[in-house]
Copies of this chain bind each other. A is one copy, B any other.
């Protein structure tokens, strides 16, 4: 999966591993997290497979900043992946729900503490998403590009809407669940 995320971003413009890490953290990372260690190793592998090429940045002679660029083969692989629609539900994994499922073994107070802490985190996450709203086009500086970033931004916005809906739903459910446990 990470492979396609990297191809997706490199299809916008050439970037270093670190640039990719930041791009992911600010956008797709909200629904597909990646560690820098995985990004660097995956980029190396993709270069071996001919999906990207890399050059060392000349501007900066001290730091070995490697700039990656997507190849035609990379573009074609990205398009091919997008062409094959999902035919199943993406499996969801939520360790909090696993913990809650087996919470008969814990004291109600312990469960409440955990849920209330999660509530804070989800509240923060919601606020993070709400602050992304105004600026929907972080790539707007790319004037000469062949990419229509207005069109791209519509899809980015849709994933943001998902994040907002998800956090609101999560907060609602946490509030109801907390209330239910408190009344036990």
Measured CB to CB, the residues of A under 8 A from B are: 1, 4-5, 8, 11, 27-28, 30-33, 78-79, 82-83, 85-106, 110, 113-114, 117-118, 121-122, 125, 147-148, 151-152, 154-156, 158-159, 161-162, 165-166, 168-169, 172-173, 176-177, 180, 184
By the criterion CB–CB under 8 Å, are B172 and A165 in contact? yes
A144 to chain B, nearest CB (A): 17
Q: Which residue of B lies closest to A168 (CB)?
A: B169
Q: Knowing A32-B93, A92-B31 touch, does A82 contact B98 (C-beta < 8 A)?
A: no
Q: Knowing A114-B85, A125-B89 touch, does A101 contact B28 (C-beta < 8 A)?
A: yes
Q: Knowing A1-B95, A31-B92, A113-B85 touch, does A102 contact B173 (C-beta < 8 A)?
A: no
When all copies of this chain in the complex are counted, the total is 2
Known contacts A1-B98, A86-B117; can you find 10 more A-B pairs with CB under 8 A? A1-B95, A30-B92, A31-B92, A32-B98, A86-B95, A86-B96, A86-B118, A89-B118, A90-B96, A97-B162
A175 to chain B, nearest CB (A): 11
Q: Which residues of B contact A82 (CB under 8 A)?
A: 99, 102-103, 105-106, 110
Q: Which residues of B contact A94 (CB under 8 A)?
A: 31-32, 90, 92
By the criterion CB–CB under 8 Å, are B161 and A177 in contact? yes
Q: Which of B102, B154, B155, B159 contacts A8 (CB 8 A)?
A: B102
Q: Which residues of B contact A159 (CB under 8 A)?
A: 97, 100-101
Q: Given the complex of chains A and B, what is the CA–CA distance between A152 and B168 in angstroms?
A: 27
Q: Which residue of B lies closest to A114 (CB)?
A: B85
Q: Given the complex of chains A and B, what is the CA–CA distance between A184 and B150 in angstroms?
A: 12
Q: Which of B5, B79, B86, B125 contacts A105 (CB 8 A)?
A: B79
